[in-house]
Amino acid sequence: MTDAVGSIDKPDADDESAESKKPRKGGKRGKKGPLGRLALFYRQIVAELRKVVWPTRSQLTTYTTVVIVFVVVMIGLVTVIDYGFQQAIKYVFG
């Protein structure tokens, strides 16, 4: 049976040649000392931070305002529910 990649029953010719080659060492993931790995880690962090789309000042202000308003509303809601439970407990247990 054949699929889009090749035969299921027989290995591809590329697979046989890949087995005979030695694994490649070196490059970014080669064995390095602890300082080399730390430097690589730092470079990868900087590269990822460059990809980040940072919000503008107005977006940041809007997001911060929304979060603060939401937290204040939730504090009020929890306070009202807590007060209601407190009054219910006083009514039940006297």
pLDDT score recorded for residue 28: 55
Pairwise CA distance, residues 7 & 26, whole Å: 33
- Rounded Cα–Cα distance for residues 2 and 66 (Å): 57
**Residue 2: strand, helix, or coil:** strand
pLDDT recorded at residue 7: 55
Q: Is residue 31 part of a domain?
A: no
8 DSSP 8-state letter: S
Q: What is the pLDDT of residue 85?
A: 96
Write down the pTM of the prediction.
Answer: 0.50
Which residue range forms the structural domain that includes residue 80? 56-93
- Total domain count, the chain: 1
pLDDT in tens, the chain (94 residues): 555 665 566 555 555 555 556 665 555 555 678 899 999 999 999 999 999 999 999 999 999 999 999 999 999 999 999 999 999 999 999 8
Q: What is the pLDDT of residue 34?
A: 87
Is 49 domain-assigned? no
